[in-house]
A = this chain, B = another copy of it.
Amino acid sequence: MKLVKTVAEMQELGRLWRAEGKKVGLVPTMGYLHEGHLTLAKEAVANNDLTVMSVFVNPIQFGANEDLDVYPRDLAGDIAKAESVGVDYVFAPEARDMYPKGFAASINLTGVTETLCGQSRPGHFQGVCVVITKLFNLVQPANAYFGQKDGQQLAVLKKLAKDFNMPVKINGVPIVREADGLAKSSRNVYLDEECRRQALVLSQSLAVAKRLYDGGERDAEVIKAAVRAHIETAPLADIEYIEIVDALTMQPVARPEQQVMLALAVRFKTTRLIDNILLGEEV
């Protein structure tokens, strides 16, 4: 496994692989890898000639009052984990190399970025779109892999690739959970013991929603109310949103017909957790 630390070196490798006709898989991450990231990496390794994992805590996708400064980092550990699943290159650039003085570009996608986390984290998906566009141009992957855990991010990036005709397939990979159901997240390390215990209501509430949906319930308000009622059994849970949206457009749906995503964001003390479940078949 090789560590690539500069944008220039990454761009040169991308050009080389392209000239050689290599099919490249890219797994963009912010590091502090867990089993969810490694599942993405395994998918990439199994389906491409070579796999690049980027490890970059992207400053422009964090808001002013968010956790950029304390976001957990462990590059040495990440490299070891990436190597263990067959990743060929880890790309870990410096922020000033990705965003040099005078950097002036931004991307906006109306609609899909405006609901859910886009509403509570203004500028977040704009920052995600910029960094992913840069990574795609540098690495020139045929495939890129993202977790369904960040369900809106996945929808945003599918729309980004579609609207800009990017020559890359966006692959979504199912959520990986702890044994007790909590969705794996680098931010889970922030949870104290009591929060960790109470956070189980999130995955449980998604199971409640699925039971209702599978039983034929199609009134979004009824499903959301049941989810809310379950989450509110946890005294520390501070609900930011519970929403049922179209799986592609991320727009609220009152009566699900096509595939929808039930998505939620809930704070436990200072830690903001998100989770979601897809309901219905993919279109």
Contact = CB atoms under 8 A, between A and B. Distances in A.
Given A7-B165, A20-B21, 11 more contacts: A11-B167, A18-B21, A19-B21, A104-B112, A105-B108, A106-B107, A106-B108, A107-B108, A108-B108, A130-B164, A134-B165
Nearest to A111: B104
B104 A107 contact: no
Contact of A137 (B20, B107, B138, B166): B166
A140 interface: yes
Nearest to A110: B104
Contact of A138 (B21, B160, B165): B165
Given A20-B21, A21-B19, A167 B137 contact: yes
A36 B137 CA distance: 30
Contacts of A133: 164
A104 B159 contact: yes
Contact of A167 (B14, B163, B164, B249): B14
Interface string A16-41: 00111100000000000000000000
A15 interface: yes
Interface residues of A, number: 33
24 contacts: A7-B165, A11-B165, A15-B167, A18-B18, A18-B21, A18-B167, A103-B163, A104-B109, A104-B110, A104-B112, A105-B107, A105-B159, A105-B164, A106-B108, A106-B110, A107-B108, A130-B164, A133-B164, A134-B165, A137-B164, A137-B166, A138-B165, A138-B167, A140-B167
A165 B99 CA distance: 11
Interface string A107-151: 111111000000000000000001001100110100000000000
A108 B20 CA distance: 33
A108 to B, nearest CB: 5
Contacts of A165: 7, 11, 134, 137-138
Contacts of A107: 105-108
Nearest to A23: B19
Interface string A82-96: 000000000000000
